[in-house]
Amino acid sequence: MAESTGFILAAAGIAAANEAIFAPAISGRPLWNDFNWRIIPATGVAALALAGLEQLSPPLGKGLAMIALLTVLMIPVGNAPSPIDNLSKMMGFK
């Protein structure tokens, strides 16, 4: 397994958990109601693409995967707010 694959899988797991569990729990909607199923095939495509890119330039493939992970944490992906926004709401800061 390429080094970038772990970062991509972590990003997809965070995005999926945010869409399916955390955002609905905060807003009071049913869990798994508005789940964005496009996350699953997009994860596979991104993992394959970055694994191939990592064969050409290992630092570039791994670096892009790390940037994807940070992006998923800070920017809203899909139908839910970002995980950092949801965390701040859960802790009572907003």
Query: Structural domain boundaries of the chain?
Result: 3-90
Q: What whole-number distance in Å separates Cα of residue 29 and Cα of residue 7? A: 29
**What are the tens digits of pLDDT across the range 51-71?**
999 999 999 999 999 999 999
The confidence score (pLDDT) of residue 58 equals 94
* Tokens 């909607």 belong to residue: 29
- Residue 83 contacts by C-beta under 8 Å, 6 or more apart in sequence? 14, 18, 22, 72, 73
> Using an 8 Å Cβ cutoff, are 19 and 79 in contact?
yes
The confidence score (pLDDT) of residue 33 equals 78
Model confidence pTM above 0.85: yes
- Return the sign of the alpha-carbon dihedral for residues 75, 36, 26, 18: negative
**What are the tens digits of pLDDT across the range 9-41?**
999 999 999 999 888 888 888 888 778 889 999
